Amino acid sequence: MKTSRYQQTRSIALWGGLKNILLAGLKIIFGIMGHSHGLLADGIHSLSDLIVDSGVIIASKFGNKAADEDHPYGHGRIETAATVFLALILAIAALVIIVNAFNTIAAVHVYIVPAQIVLWIALSSVVLNEILYFWTKHIANQIKSRLLMTNAWHHRSDSASSIAVALGVIGAWLGFPKLDAVAAIIVGLMILKIAWDFGWHSIRELVDTALSIEETEKIKLFIKEIPGVKAIHQLRTRSIAGSIFCDVHVLVDPFISVSEGHYIGQEVDKRLIASFPDITDVTVHIDTEDDELINPSYNLPNRATLQKILHKHWQHLLPEIAIQTAAFHYLDSKITIDLKLPIAFINQNDLETQLKKIILTESFITDIKIFYYK
């Protein structure tokens, strides 16, 4: 049975949580006992990752709920909002680490050198975090979860920060005791950078920032190649928890049937989702003219009103069924009328001339086309 997106996220987050409980405890205890500011800072980092793991599980559970009446686009924004919150937690932790390290550097005397156990714990942390990084990243790419990818980079940042701690310890052993505090500052800056990257991206997603110009242009070119599409405009995109939603106005031949226009719209929807895996929802608006360039037909009469006008002018010339089945084309703020008449009407002298007299009195009608059938 296929494992659900939430189950995969929960499993990887639980393993990450166990790792962070173990490492946070060891780093904080031996950071204090081993006189290492760097390892202590690294322990706080691991502790913050434990909070992140808890947030990942909670946000994923609610964020993966199916769309409902109150949330027609799904609950994916819960993941996005959680990513912003977790990024804020990381930023605060980073600032605390940096301030404490600067206070240590500013101290007049720093004589205590970190113990050997500090180095071994830092190196063990590197190994464990690299394993969790690659595993979490693999699952994040598989299920397209930015929240889980954020967590993967938390593991990588823990790994990198532990390397910095190890280097700081070695430096302190070589006669540079304050190098341990410098390592703590490096760790803090790394955490701050990661918090900014993921937090800023998620904030942009929350305010419906469009895809990049390159990605948008790629989608435009793809749609234009679909048979039946003459042009497109007003392509709008947004992202929700790794999924892309887009809506687009598609220009088609104004004289095709409504059902054919609908078919073209379905083709755009189907082909986009098939060719762009991240696109999960497409809304297609079928246009018969570019309403960005041409005045829309807001002030023209609707079908019922127009039929009454035609009845007044043509009741003595045509059967009522001809008026009821007439096709009206609203183009460039005018109306073109297509009439379907029995072949018997073809022999009526001046019928077309008499019908077109309406153009003289109803200025919004530009042309009348007659089609005869047997």
Contact 227, 267 (CB under 8 A): yes
pLDDT, averaged across the chain:
81
Q: Is 257 helix (H, G, I), strand (E, B) or coil?
A: coil
d(CA 11, CA 15): 6
At the second CATH level, the architecture of 213-287 is 2-Layer Sandwich (3.30)
d(CA 257, CA 253): 9
> How confident is the model over 257-282, as a mean pLDDT?
91
The predicted structure's pLDDT at residue 14: 77
Structure tokens at 219: 């989608």
Residue closest to 139 by CA, chosen among 147, 18, 124 = 147
Contact 159, 137 (CB under 8 A): no
The predicted-structure confidence for 160-180, as pLDDT tens digits, reads as follows 778 778 877 888 788 777 776
Contact 182, 47 (CB under 8 A): no
The predicted-structure confidence for 102-139, as pLDDT tens digits, reads as follows 877 777 565 567 788 888 888 888 898 888 889 888 88
Contact 251, 289 (CB under 8 A): yes
Query: Which of 10-14, 48-52, 306-310 has maximum average pLDDT?
Result: 306-310
DSSP-based helix, strand, coil % in the chain, nearest 5: 60, 15, 25
At the second CATH level, the architecture of 5-206 is Up-down Bundle (1.20)
Whether 213-287 and 5-206 are alike in CATH topology: the answer is: no
d(CA 16, CA 1): 24
Q: Is 331 helix (H, G, I), strand (E, B) or coil?
A: strand
**pLDDT greater than 50 at residue 2:** no
d(CA 201, CA 239): 11
The predicted structure's pLDDT at residue 106: 77
The predicted-structure confidence for 142-154, as pLDDT tens digits, reads as follows 877 767 777 777 7
Domain segments of the chain as ranges: 5-206, 213-287, 303-373
